[in-house]
Amino acid sequence: MTLTEEQRQKLNRAQEILGYRFETEQLLLSAITHPSATEGKSVKYSYERLEFLGDSILGAIVASTAFHRFHDLDEGGLTRIKVALVSGASLSDVADGLGFADVIVFGSSETGTGKRGLHSALENVYEAVVAALYLDGGIDVAAAFVTRTLIPRMSAAMAREPENPKSALQEKLQEDGITPTYKLVETQGPPHDRTFVAQVFAGSKGLARGQGRTKKEAESQAAKSTLASLGDFFGFGGDNAEKAAAKAAVKAAKAEKAAEKAAARAEEKARKRNERTAAKQKKQG
């Protein structure tokens, strides 16, 4: 296997991060290679196929760990823990913390883009690395990596997180008569590797943003972040400044809604008053 200087450097760095030396280095190289760097080559040379396998292996490891750790949780609670832990936001955050952003091999088409699809790429690389470890060293090696890097985030509190953050946020805001809306504010990355950024609004007041590989996931992440800031999403605290800002925005939206209702009532009163005046004048005439 003939490698470029960049590939060799990033391959070595990736193995340092993992603390594992690959017998078949091509597996790891594929796991850290963005599809933009393999144009015209077989799909096996990028992370695309490996992430498919890694997703299933990762899910099994997380599910098994949650099952054996939390004996009193039912299927719903265990599912919520798994979903929260293997979400795109969770995996990309872990991968970024490990330093994976520095080892991804990008193609020339990404040059000058600021790696706009980095959020998505980090998630994909994490899953692909799990698959590469599994294929090279077996399930114990893959499980050791996941246990070291991802499992520390696992908590029983995740079982109380809403399965549908958008519905949970709507319920919360509608207590004050506010219906949240979502707007796509940014699209990052090339067509084959999009990352979407959505923002949730309470009235005209912008709340949190979220990223995802689909618009739906981005909106869900935005709702999740808003709930976290409002202090109503267990497992994700948010700092005091974020909470204060979110609550202030919701309070402003509530005031805005109240003002709209007051204006509507005033307009209705004026309309009825004018109708009575017109009817009285007609009768007198």
Q: Which CATH number fits domain 5-160: 1.10.1520.10, 3.40.190.10, 1.10.10.10, 3.40.50.2300?
A: 1.10.1520.10
Q: Which of the following is catalytic: 25, 48, 51, 127? A: 127
* Gap between the Cα atoms of 110 and 64, Å rounded: 38
pLDDT, position 237: 42
Half-sphere exposure of 175 (CA within 13 A, CB side): 8
Residue 131 token pair:
């698959």
Average pLDDT over residues 143-158: 95
**Which residue, 137, 99, 130, 118, is CA-closest to 17?**
99
Catalytic residue, from 55, 110, 136, 161: name it.
55
Is 127 tagged catalytic? yes
Q: Give the number of C-alpha atoms closer than 13 A to the C-alpha of residue 250, restricted to the C-beta side.
A: 24
Q: Does 3 have pLDDT greater than 90?
A: no
Q: Which pLDDT tens digit goes with each residue over 5-19?
A: 999 999 999 999 999
Domain locations in the chain?
Answer: 5-160, 165-269
Domain 165-269 listed as CATH 3.30.160.20: yes
User: By the 8 A CB rule, do 66 and 150 touch?
Assistant: no
- C-alpha angle with apex 32: 59 to 100, nearest 5 degrees? 80
pLDDT beyond 90 at 41? no
Q: Is 112 helix (H, G, I), strand (E, B) or coil?
A: coil
Greatest mean pLDDT among 35-39, 110-114, 160-164: 35-39
Mean pLDDT of 204-219: 86
Residue 236 has pLDDT above 50, yes or no: no
pTM score, whole prediction: 0.66
What pLDDT was estimated at residue 75?
93
Looking at residue 159, what is its pLDDT? 87
